[in-house]
Structures are given as structure tokens and as C-alpha cells.
Amino acid sequence: MDFKLTEEQLMIRDAARDFAKAELLPGVIDRDNKQEFPTEQVKKMGELGFLGMMASPEYGGGGMDTVSYVLVMEELSKIDASCSVIVSVNNSLVCWGLDTYGNDAQKEKYLTKLTTGESIGAFCLSEPEAGSDATSQKTTAIDKGDHYVLNGTKNWITNGGSADYYLVIAQTDKEKKHKGINAFIVEKGWEGFEIGPKEDKLGIRGSDTHSLIFNDVKVPKENRIGEDGFGFKFAMKTLAGGRIGIAAQALGIASGAYELAKEYSKVRKAFGTEIMNHQAIAFKLADMHTSIEAARMLVLKAAMDKDNHENYDLSGAMAKLYASQVAMDVAVEAVQVHGGNGFVKEYHVERLMRDAKITQIYEGTSEIQKIVISRSILRD
Ligand code: CAA
Ligand code: FAD
């Protein structure tokens, strides 16, 4: 495979790198401490076109390829994974899902605002009793002719408090199991739609995660995405691409932690020499660099598969599984290279270590990626 990037892809990557250093780095520790949503930064990312990168230009999107998107995700994640998850959800789960499966009226009404950052989106599949086991949806959407009535609770929703539009998955016909599931566009503020308290999290603390409660919420029929019963396929297809974005997030966390550790090893002295001259430290850096390069190739391969209209279920799952393990391993070692300084906030690596963990959990845990991978290779 040719992993050479085009001039345009390199320019987009550099723009994201410059933006992250100039706009995300300054307040990142404070936002993490206070669990503060990066409102200003999200607005600027919208202006730069980072929120609807792959969506159709006729609906305000950038019309860019997935490779450009993962490059941006990596650069943002090196510095602030709370910001990058907002970018990931809006791009891969919300804009891509609507652009690919929504009708013209839905795109006109919702997508045009979501691609520019005028509005933010959320993707609502998980429930208290349906996380990995996503077909066990308890939220119901009962068909009442010209509308559906939505009841139930969604858990762990990224952008839960700050979103304007929510793609909600719900069970319409229980008898039909996953074939009776639908996806709907729900607007914030609709009667009966309540947002639960913000979760107090280990990592990605700048991103707001909430439960959502639906009590007899009336959803117009025109807000259903696709044919009746398409909702579970919609979720799976959307998540397959989303996993490439989270793999890139994991890669970015790993790269960010590695770069900090490398620089630190050049200036910190112990036993009369810079610690990089101790083989134990140099070998850690060698291992980090090697695993990051391997993760990058898996991420780019998955992105290229998607751009080339190849099946990317397998390559996306492999990229997420591997890159999220690399993020965890590299971040832990980066803290070790920093010694005591690694344990305090101003050196950034402790935050990257806390942020790394979520990449093994959301958009399908590592165990779920192994289910996807093993089913795919055994079927073939
Ligand atoms: N594309 C299209 N269809 C797919 C698909 C895919 N990638 N994967 C599964 N399907 C279809 C199957 O073909 C099947 O349909 P048919 O019967 O018509 O063939 C249907 O979906 C059910 O599939 P399975 O029988 O394989 O279902 P399962 O119960 O064994 O579960 C699973 C499969 C892969 C484990 C799935 O439940 C899953 O992905 N679970 C994890 C959920 C998840 O990733 N949640 C993330 C929430 S969003 C999030 O986390 C965002 C964030 O943090 C920022
Ligand atoms: P469970 O499904 O209860 O899993 C518990 C453990 O059992 C895990 O280790 C799991 O891998 C393992 N396990 C479960 N089933 C199997 C099996 N068959 N084989 C082997 N092991 C298994 N969801 C959304 O819909 N939208 C969002 O925006 C969103 N954002 C999130 C943000 C954060 C910060 C967090 C923490 C979660 C978010 N999620 C979101 C939910 C996330 O996708 C789920 O937490 C995840 O899919 C796992 O589900 P669960 O928490 O119910 O764990």
C-alpha cells in the first residue's frame, strides 16, 4: 500500500497541528480540571471546517477524504482528546450518518448546521442495559401514524448537554428484534426530552457526557432516518467509520505522549547524563516509536479502505483495537519516563494516560472489536 500523503492532506494536517498548539494547548489543563466544555475552541474548529470534513459540500461539508480526517484527529488528539472526541462524534457518527442515509429534507434542515459547527450533534445508542449488547434496546419508539412516541433512557452520551440535534436509536417493533429498530433525529428542547447530570469522568473531562431521558417525546415521522427497521444497520454502518476516527484519536494520544517523553529524555539528567543515554529509557522510546508507526499504518489502511470504497469493518476494528492498546501502553511509559514529574498535571502525560483509557471502551470495547475481527476472518 502507498501511504504517501498528498500535498493537500499534508496542508490539512499542518493546519490542525498549528491550531492545536495555538488554540487547544493553552487552556487544556484548566478545562480538564474544571470539566469545562471547550465552547470557544469548538466554534473555531467549526470555522476551520473540522466539524463536517467528509460531508458533502452542498450541505456545508468539506468533501474531504477519510485520510485527511484521521490526520486532523491525530493532531488534535496529541494535545486535547476532549476536543477531538467532539470532532469525531460530529464528523463520523452524526454528519456522515446523515449525509449517507438522511433524505434531502433532513440534510437541508439539519446537516447544513452540523457541518459548519452552528449546531453540534450527538449519537445515542448506549443504554443502561444495552452497551456492548447493542441490539437489546429498551428505548421504544411507538408508531402513532404521523409521529412516533419515544420513551426510555440513553447513557453515556458524548456532547449530551451541548448538542442541538441527537440521533437516537430506539426499538419500534420488539417482535422483529434488531430489524425492528429505527434511528431518529431529535431536537434539544422538545417536550419530554430531559438531559441528565454531567458524568464526572477519569479522562476526556472537557467533553460532556450525559444520560438522556425521553418521556413521551413526539418525534415527527419525517425525522426517521431511512426505511422502517433500518436503525440498527444505520448504527453499525456509522460506527464502523466512527471506529477509524477513534483509532486516530488513540494514535494521537500515543504520539503526543511519545513526543513529550522523547523531549523530556533529552533534557532531564540523572547519574551525570541525560536520561536518554540510559538504555532502559532509550529502549522505551524505541518501543513506543515502533508501536506508534504500526498503529499509524493500520489507521491509514482503514481510512484508505473507506476512501477506496472497500469494506472497512475489519480494518477499522483492527485499527481501533491496536491503536487503543498502543495509546494505553505508550501513555503509561511516557509517565514513567517523566518520573515524579509524570505524575503532576503540568507535564501533560498524566492527562494523556487518563484520556487513553476511554479509547479501549467507547465505540465498541476492545473485546467487541475482537468479536468483529474474529467473525470477519473466520467468515472469510
Ligand atoms: N454493517 C452493517 N450491518 C451490520 C454490521 C456492519 N458493520 N455489523 C452488524 N450488522 C448487522 C448484521 O448483519 C445483522 O443484521 P442481519 O440479521 O440483517 O444480517 C445485525 O446487524 C445484527 O448483527 P449481529 O447478529 O452481529 O449482532 P450482535 O448482537 O451479535 O452484535 C456487535 C454485534 C458487533 C457486538 C454489536 O452489537 C456492536 O457493535 N456492539 C458495540 C456497540 C458500540 O460500539 N457502541 C458504541 C456506542 S457510540 C459511542 O461509543 C460513541 C462514543 O463513545 C464517542
Ligand atoms: P458492557 O457492555 O456492560 O461491558 C462490560 C465489560 O464486558 C466490557 O469489558 C466488555 O468488553 C465486556 N463484554 C461485554 N459483552 C462481551 C462479550 N460478548 N464478549 C466479551 N466481553 C464482553 N455511547 C453512545 O451511544 N454514544 C456516545 O456518544 C457515547 N459516548 C461515551 C463516552 C464515554 C466517556 C463513555 C464512558 C461511554 C460512551 N458511550 C457512548 C458508551 C460506550 O459506547 C459503552 O460504554 C461501551 O459500548 C460499552 O458498553 P457498557 O459500558 O454497557 O459495557
Give the chain's domains with CATH numbers: 7-120 (1.10.540.10), 122-231 (2.40.110.10), 232-378 (1.20.140.10)
Residues with CB under 6 A from ligand 1: 85, 89, 123, 125-126, 132, 134-135, 158, 178, 232-233, 236-237, 239-240, 313, 362-364, 368, 371-372
Residue of 156, 243, 371 to mutate, ligand 2, most atoms within 8 A of C-beta: 156
Question: In the structure, which protein residues have their CB atom closer than 6 angstroms to any atom of ligand 2?
Answer: 89, 123-126, 131-133, 156-158, 201, 204, 209, 358, 361-365, 367-368
Q: How many helices (H) and strands (E) does the chain have?
A: 13, 9
Burial class, 157, CB count within 10 angstroms (exposed 0-12 / middle 13-18 / buried 19+):
buried
pLDDT at 352: 98
Does the ipTM exceed 0.90?
yes
Q: Is the pLDDT of residue 212 over 80?
A: yes
Q: Is the pLDDT of residue 380 over 80?
A: no
Q: Are 268 and 339 in contact (CB under 8 A)?
A: yes
- Cα 164 to averaged position of ligand 2 atoms, centre (Å): 24
Per-residue pLDDT band for 276 (boundaries 50, 70, 90) equals very high
Which 3 state secondary structure label does DSSP give 16? Answer: helix
How confident is residue 376, by pLDDT bands cut at 50, 70 and 90? very high
Told to judge if 175 belongs to the known catalytic residues of this protein, a careful annotator would answer no
pTM over 0.95: yes
Query: What rounded mean pLDDT belongs to the chain?
Result: 98
Apex 199 CA angle, 198 and 205, nearest 5: 100
Rounded mean pLDDT of 356-361? 98
Does the pLDDT value for residue 132 go beyond 90? Answer: yes
Q: What percent of the chain has pLDDT over 90?
A: 99
Give phi and psi for 273, each to the nearest 5.
Answer: -150, 160
Cα–ligand 2 centroid distance for 364 (angstroms)? 6
Q: pLDDT (tens digit, 9 = 90+) per residue, 10-51?
A: 999 999 999 999 999 999 999 999 999 999 999 999 999 999
pLDDT of residue 162: 98
Report H helices in 80-124: 81-88, 96-101, 104-106, 112-116
CB 132 within 8 A of CB 179: no
Judge whether 241 and 92 are in contact, CB under 8 Å: yes
363 close to 239: Cβ distance less than 8 angstroms: yes
For the segment 226-233, the average pLDDT, to the nearest whole number, is 98
Closest CA relative to residue 56, chosen from 10, 133, 116, 16: 116
CA of 367, closest atom in ligand 2: 11
Q: What is the pLDDT of residue 2?
A: 87
Q: Which three three-digit cell numbers place residue 8?
A: 493537500
Residue 323 C-alpha cell reads as: 491503536
65-122, pLDDT tens digit by residue?
999 999 999 999 999 999 999 999 999 999 999 999 999 999 999 999 999 999 999 9
| 301-356 per-position pLDDT tens digit | 999 999 999 999 999 999 999 999 999 999 999 999 999 999 999 999 999 999 99
The three cell numbers of residue 139 are 428505548
Distance 212 CA to ligand 1 centre (A): 21
**Residue 1: what pLDDT?**
82
